[in-house]
Structure 1
Amino acid sequence: MPRQPRSFPSDSYQHVISRGNRRQKIFESEEDWARFAAALVEELDAEGVILLAFCLMPNHFHLLVKCIQAALSSAMHRLLTSHAAYMNKKYGRTGHLFEDRFKSFQCAPEGLLPLAAYIHNNPVRARLTTAAGDWPWSSHRDYIEPAGQGTAGKLIVLSGIDKDPLKAAAFYRSYVETSIARPGRPTPTALDALCAKIEREGGHIAGLIRQRSKRHDITGTRRKFIESALAEGHLPSEIADFLGLARSAISRYRSPGANVNSRDCP
């Protein structure tokens, strides 16, 4: 009996991942990459799914999408089936190209920036390139196009950073460059998103409060981040690890109304 398509909540954001069967390559030539990238946009658009970010890799791909009409399964089924048939016919193969079903993880709106950066930095982490902008098969270049240009999906992410398109694009570029130093998957609903929000409000470039600067304005913003993180229920140990500080440096902020001036802030 055929498996039923999975349903996704309308207006939800989803991180989609699909890998080649047994980690095999899913592209062989530049024509294969280009054909898949074009089909991706076409199939998602046909089902009312907005593509916010993507990155194609030799044996897998990542997408960040918004499901307007909850029809992600139909679009992905057609996309993967069509590409598998194309590759098998072109290269005289048989069998499955992709492993089982695609995976998907729901993302909160405040996590869009960390997740987009994580997706666009995939080629850098895999050592296929030294900078996200050098990889041709992702939407990163679209994000750093002049203000007012690019896809609707890009504008959804950047509008959550700053109302000024130029400031949003500049912050995004800095965030991508600095976030590559953070290992592992993003934690988009937690400290990463809070850090990005407070750095924007303070007028700082992404990642600045995680550096060891003693500038008065930076220590003040760092203090605000620590206090906000504690107020949201994060453990001092989590915050310390995130900032690269001693845990004792965070514990001072646990008492409401603690009298801590900027010189005391780590």
Structure 2
Amino acid sequence: MPRKPRVEFEGAIYHIMSRGNRGDAIFLDDKDCETFLDTLDEACTKTGWLVHAFVLMGNHYHLLLETPEANLVVGMKWLQGTYTQRFNSRHKLWGHLLQGRYKALLVDGSGGDYFSAVSSYIHLNPARAKCFDLLEGKLSDFRWSSYPLYLKPAKRPVWLRVDRTLGCLGVQDDTRGRRRFADYMRKRVGEVAGSAQPMEADGSWAGIRRGWCLGSERFREQMLERLETLSGKRESFSGEEVGLHDEGEAEHLLKAGVAVLGMAEPELVALRKGADEKALIAWLLRKHCAVSNAWIAGRLDMGRADCLSRYPKRIEQTEDRELINKREQLRKITRLRD
């Protein structure tokens, strides 16, 4: 049966959840968690994503994700595929790591209530799973969540945004506001601890766990309209749709990068496939876009796609001062859009 298409649009907010294949663990130790967050960091750099909450839970993970550009599908393909490759390489495994299709619940961010409910649901996962002593321990004792980072601003990655969750509670990102947020979450942990059914401690959680869209009736109608528009454009959705953002962004960066190098595009393409200038542009595109290796290799005339990764790696690891200077000049292009 054809799958429903992913609804993608600028500024969309999703609750993303993905589980290990057959329920198996996808994080075997702290190093795996670190690797996933490093990979998420790269994905956010490539796509411009903002993350409002996350938690890594052994055999699954949750994200409260905002996409300033309509690029959920291609970004998730890169994130999950790259993490799977890194996990399998580290543990000398092969095959699927994640189970089927990731869940992407559309979240209404207009009023705050639905957004806040998902944020709390994600942050309270360790409490529901009893990953710490609910009576003696603290929610911040669980390392692999964004919650401890809400309380320690100096340790936050640039892609983690706390203002929206805090704003839903009417507090600021300052010492007093963070203290009030910690008090609120302590109260919520108490509710989970006192519930006979922790997974149903909050009435809104059923919709988060089972629905496809969480929001007002008007928001739901708007999402259905988007879905119907998509369905009218395709006869089958047996595969995942690819957004147009990434190729457009890649073309923009390619043009800007060639200008920084003081070249014309035909000059660049005419160089040998391993030329430093091509390697620099390939590095720029690999790091800051989610286009495939095949797209980059074809666009720059760099030979086989399965051999492309060696060139950006060379630029990333170079000790050649001239190449380092050119790499940093190219990096400035991407800072202008942040």
Q: TM-score, normalization: structure 1? A: 0.63
Distance in 1 between residues matched to 2:61 and 2:53, nearest whole Å: 11
| Contact 2:26–2:59 under 8 Å retained in 1 | yes
Distance in 1 between residues matched to 2:181 and 2:124, nearest whole Å: 12
Distance 1:164 1:89, change over 3 A: closer
Match of 1:171 in 2: 180
Question: Per residue, is there more helix in 1 or in 2?
Answer: 2
Distance in 1 between residues matched to 2:177 and 2:70, nearest whole Å: 29
Q: In the alignment, is residue 64 of structure 1 matched against residue 64 of structure 2?
A: yes
Distance in 2 between residues matched to 1:39 and 1:56, nearest whole Å: 13
Distance in 2 between residues matched to 1:31 and 1:107, nearest whole Å: 31
Structure 2 gap ranges (5+): 193-197, 208-338
Within a 5 Å distance, the mapping from 1:34-73 to structure 2 comes to 34-73=34-73
Q: What is the CA distance between 1:175 and its match in structure 2? A: 2.3
Q: In the alignment, is residue 157 of structure 1 matched against residue 160 of structure 2?
A: no
Within a 5 Å distance, the mapping from 1:46-195 to structure 2 comes to 46-109=46-109, 110=112, 111-130=114-133, 131-145=138-152, 151=158, 153-162=161-170, 164-166=172-174, 167-180=176-189, 181-182=191-192, 183=198, 184=200, 187=204
Distance 1:40 1:175, change over 3 A: same
Q: Return the structure number with greater relative CO, CA threshold 8 A, min gap 6.
A: 2
Q: What is the CA distance between 1:186 and its match in structure 2? A: 5.9
Identity %: 28
Distance 1:94 1:5, change over 3 A: farther
| Contact 2:18–2:102 under 8 Å retained in 1 | yes
Structure 1 gap ranges (5+): 191-266
Superposed CA RMSD? 2.8
Match of 1:260 in 2: none
Residue by residue, what CA displacement relative to the aligned partner does 1:135-165 show, whole Å, maximum 9, x if unpaired? 1111101111269x77551122223332543
Distance in 2 between residues matched to 1:124 and 1:96, nearest whole Å: 29
Distance in 2 between residues matched to 1:7 and 1:146, nearest whole Å: 33
Distance in 2 between residues matched to 1:48 and 1:150, nearest whole Å: 13
Q: What is the CA distance between 1:7 and its match in structure 2? A: 3.7
How many aligned residue pairs are there?
Answer: 188
| Contact 1:14–1:106 under 8 Å retained in 2 | yes
